[in-house]
Amino acid sequence: MQRGLMLTVIAVMLMLMLVSCGGSSPGDVIEAYLAAVVAKDEVTAVRLSCLAWEEQARAEGAAFDANEVALEDVSCQAVQELDSEATVTCTGSIRFSYDGGVEETLDLEGRSFRVIFEDDEWKMCGYQ
Q: What band does 3 get if pLDDT is binned at 50, 70 and 90?
A: low
pLDDT higher than 80, residue 6 = no
Mean pLDDT, rounded, for 86-108 = 91
Please tell me the distance from the alpha carbon of residue 77 to that of residue 28, in angstroms, as a whole number: 7
Lowest mean pLDDT: which of 90-94, 101-105, 106-110? 101-105
- Chain-wide mean pLDDT for the chain? 86
pLDDT tens digit sequence for 36-87? 999 999 999 999 999 999 999 999 988 888 778 999 999 999 999 999 999 9
Q: What band does 20 get if pLDDT is binned at 50, 70 and 90?
A: very low
What DSSP element (H or E) covers 126? Answer: strand 121-127
In order of start, what are the domains of the chain with their CATH numbers?
2-127 (3.10.450.100)
Mean pLDDT, rounded, for 82-94 = 97
Answer yes or no: are the C-beta atoms of 112 and 128 closer than 8 Å. Answer: yes
Residue type for position 72:
E
pTM for this prediction: 0.81
Residue type for position 47:
R
pLDDT at 63: 84
Do the bridges between strand 85-98 and strand 68-81 make them parallel or antiparallel, or are there none, so unpaired? antiparallel
What DSSP element (H or E) covers 123? Answer: strand 121-127
